[in-house]
Structure 1
Amino acid sequence: MAVDSAHWKQFEEAKTLHNKGVDGDKKAVIQANELLVKLREAEPNNALIEAYYGSTLVLLGRDAVKIMEKADRAQEGLDVLNEAITLDSNHKEIRLLRGNICLRLPESFFQCSETAIEDFTFLLNRNKENPGYLTPNQVPDILRNLSSAYQNAGKPDEAKAVLQHFAPLVRKKKDRKEGEETH
């Protein structure tokens, strides 16, 4: 489900602010959330807008001072992200958002490592069916994240197996980064 062309510029601005928020800019999170609230009203049931809105809720939770507000915002954001997956379960960007968020939330409280495993596995399977679905940089990142999600879920054998099975891909990305740094 694409963003309506009339709202595309606003959505791109919200994504830019969202990404600044991911990097720690608290004001950008608030601005992104405000834009996404308006976009949700204009385009109800748009899975991608829902996903970014859910992500901003989790970021607002991250930045909250009170513990209960942190937990409530994060849970609300997860619920919205789950709804976005319900709206469009095949959307790569939504799966990446939810998987990365679930990986970073404390497992002891949110128990969402299995969701991260589901999302990362979905993405890797889709890439296996359609080579090029993921970029060369995304594959090793997702593999590392999948391994971490297994570790967080208390499945160290699966975590180790992922890294062992895909070690050549992870090394290839590392070699590419080192090559870029020397040029």
Structure 2
Amino acid sequence: MMRVNRKTIATTMAMLIFVVLYISSATLFASGNVDSEDTKTQNKVLELESLLEEDPQNTKLCMELAIIYHGKAADGEKQAIEKAEPLFKKILDAEPNNAEVRAWYGSLLTIKGREDWFPPAKLFYVIQGIQQMDRAVELSPDSTSVRLVRAHTSVALPYAFGRNNVAIKDFEYLLTLDESKPGQFDANTLAGIYLDLGKAYSQGGDKDKARENWQKAMDIAPGSKEAVEANSLLGN
């Protein structure tokens, strides 16, 4: 009788779950308020591309442009992945311990996994992205930017990846930091934290905490896109 390899079965099941859940997954964490159709953003891209042609080794310019491309990729612009990835890699080649760049690169890889058509490749890129983000937090556990990227990306991933508790841990850490040192984040950033923290609690089955955090998102930044989404999630 042929022996069944349990590890193979587990891997296959995980892949099937991934394919079912992630092919139509919601948009992943976008960088700030970047709008891929916004004229101002497009002009900024052209400006940065021009500056990089003159100074291709300028890591600050590379990072700024890569983050904008990340936002476009998160919004579904597939070509932006191909533009952002080499920029992040260029910086990491020069600065392998740059935690913020590694976090953004990891987030981009999860988007690359979302957009790839081949199931094993989709799974591979997402796992690689998760590992990159976790490594970034290991390198700089107190970095608010690193925690924000990992948290928002984690809550956007399908629940089957087991990143829900990671997102909650990161968001709670950031809120504790803001309580101890007020002014760490602007109103929209805080609203975004409460919004996605609510999503994380909702995915985990804690509807009361979810609603509590969505209400806080509305109270902190009324009229913002975060507040509008929170209001919708509350069913108002």
Task: Identify the residue that residue 51 of structure 2 maps to in structure 1.
Answer: none
CA–CA separation in structure 1 for the residues paired with 2:181 and 2:87? 34
CA–CA separation in structure 2 for the residues paired with 1:56 and 1:41? 17
- CA pair 169-44 structure 1, distance change in 2 beyond 3 A: closer
How many residues were matched structurally?
169
CA–CA separation in structure 2 for the residues paired with 1:57 and 1:175? 32
SS in structure 2 at match of 1:133: coil
Q: CA RMSD in A?
A: 1.8
- State which of 127, 139, 163 in structure 1 corresponds to 2:178: 127
- State which of 50, 58, 67 in structure 1 corresponds to 2:110: 58
SS in structure 2 at match of 1:15: helix
CA contact (8 A) 1:99 1:117 kept: yes
Task: Identify the residue that residue 159 of structure 1 maps to in structure 2.
Answer: 210
What letter is aligned with 1:61? G
Larger radius of gyration: 2
Task: Identify the residue that residue 32 of structure 1 maps to in structure 2.
Answer: 84
Q: Structure 2, unaligned stretches of length 5 or more? A: 1-56, 226-236
Provide the TM-score with structure 1 as the length reference. Answer: 0.85
Q: Structure 1, unaligned stretches of length 5 or more? A: 178-183
CA–CA separation in structure 1 for the residues paired with 2:224 and 2:139? 36
Task: Identify the residue that residue 142 of structure 2 maps to in structure 1.
Answer: 90
Task: Identify the residue that residue 19 of structure 1 maps to in structure 2.
Answer: 71
Task: Identify the residue that residue 18 of structure 2 maps to in structure 1.
Answer: none
CA contact (8 A) 2:188 2:224 kept: no
SS in structure 2 at match of 1:137: helix
Task: Identify the residue that residue 221 of structure 2 maps to in structure 1.
Answer: 173
Q: Deviations over 1:5-41 (max 9, x none)?
A: 9421112121121111112111111111111112111
Provide the TM-score with structure 2 as the length reference. Answer: 0.67
CA–CA separation in structure 1 for the residues paired with 2:74 and 2:91? 20
Task: Identify the residue that residue 180 of structure 1 maps to in structure 2.
Answer: none
Q: Does 1:71 align with 2:71?
A: no
What letter is aligned with 1:9? L
